[in-house]
A and B are shown apart, each in its own frame.
Chain A
Amino acid sequence: DAKTTQPPSMDCAEGRAANLPCNHSTISGNEYVYWYRQIHSQGPQYIIHGLKNNETNEMASLIITEDRKSSTLILPHATLRDTAVYYCIVRVNGAQKLVFGQGTRLTINP
């Protein structure tokens, strides 16, 4: 699986959009971009995934660049409950393992 690079930490004001970047310059054609988050002392929670088109669901939007070498997870109206570590993972869809990197620790400030 391709490696991802994320900033170690970010801050965002409550009510504003939180934009979390992820670099995956070695991504291959059949690898998807997945986002999970982990709230303190809980198991990871799936957020969204995509291959090359932008995706949106009730939790977030995923913007993938045309060359697929980077992506951005957007939380449109961040709340205090969105404070968590966000993990960007690339892997072949249906592959056995999910391998977690260090993620981005997002803090939403009141």
Chain B
Amino acid sequence: GAVVSQHPSWVICKSGTSVKIECRSLDFQATTMFWYRQFPKQSLMLMATSNEGSKATYEQGVEKDKFLINHASLTLSTLTVTSAHPEDSSFYICSARTSGGSGYNEQFFGPGTRLTVL
């Protein structure tokens, strides 16, 4: 299957700083990428959908000015957590959808990034 990578795999930062997480589709072009957040022992919550070259669509309750998403190319999307606070500590997972979405298995997930804000 197609491979999606995330970098970094884990990050620790101080409260008030900004953190950028990268999501890359390694062997396919992704017109759409998704960002999820997962708190301990909870399910994945969709944060936003980003389409290459356009603004991201955020789910209800997700602050777009706090979670900046850029999808500048067909293989890279970034999530920047601005002015991070301890409550932003979570497991952030991206997924990428292949162009055209013709197949059933069109959405592939990255390994996740664990963010800890001190």
A residues apposed to B, CB below 8 Å:
32, 34, 38, 41-46, 49, 85, 87, 93-94, 96-103
Contact = CB atoms under 8 A, between A and B. Distances in A.
10 contacts: A42-B112, A43-B4, A43-B111, A44-B95, A46-B1, A87-B43, A96-B49, A98-B34, A98-B46, A100-B43
A51 B110 CA distance: 26
A100 B118 CA distance: 29
B62 interface: no
B25 interface: no
Contacts of A43: 4, 6, 93, 95, 109-112
Contacts of B107: 46, 98
Nearest to B91: A41
B52 to A, nearest CB: 14
Chain A binding site: helix, strand, loop or mixed by DSSP?
loop
Interface residues of B, number: 27
B101 A94 contact: yes
Interface string B5-35: 0100000000000000000000000001010
A97 B49 contact: yes
Contact of A96 (B1, B4, B32, B112): B32
B46 A99 contact: yes
A67 B23 CA distance: 40
A41 B43 contact: no
